[in-house]
Amino acid sequence: MTAKHSISFTVRDSEIDDMGHVNNVVYLKWVQDVAISHWYSVAEPDDLENYKWVVRRHELDYLKAAMPNDIITATTWIESLEGVSSIRMVEIKRGDTILAKAKTTWIMLDAKTGRPARVTQKMQDSFLI
């Protein structure tokens, strides 16, 4: 198990679709936002400069709708971090109610070459507890 990382925010009017709730694409943005926030909160400055992450696969289960002005918490943790990839889990909640769950596979790239780069032991030690 790894340490969890959370961000909270309020649903904006621009995120509401014609059905009156948060558009499905917004949940995907929230998944990305919390992952990026986690990376920036834990990665060393040289890692931020030398490596970038790209998504290979998203799996997203929509369970309940987020509504205008809801206060949302997105929480992420890393399920695995090895080779060139990371599997990251995300829960999106309103209070204690889970609205969505995601499992995303990320691939680490060398920022200079754009080629896949192996996750370093130092990163594993920083992200995996």
Distance of CA 64 to CAs 43, 85, 100, Å?
33, 30, 7
Position of tokens 């986690």? 38
For every one of its 129 residues, what pLDDT tens digit does the chain have, with 9 covering 90 and above? 468 999 999 999 999 999 999 999 999 999 999 999 999 999 999 999 999 999 999 999 999 999 999 999 999 999 999 999 999 999 999 999 999 999 999 999 999 999 999 999 988 888 876
- Residue 67 near residue 21, CB atoms below 8 Å: yes
Nearest to 35 by CA among 123, 94, 106: 106
19 DSSP 8-state letter: T
Nearest to 86 by CA among 36, 46, 50: 36
In which domain, by residue range, is 88 found?
Answer: 5-127
- Residue 101 near residue 61, CB atoms below 8 Å: yes
CATH number at residue 117: 3.10.129.10
The number of domains in the chain is: 1
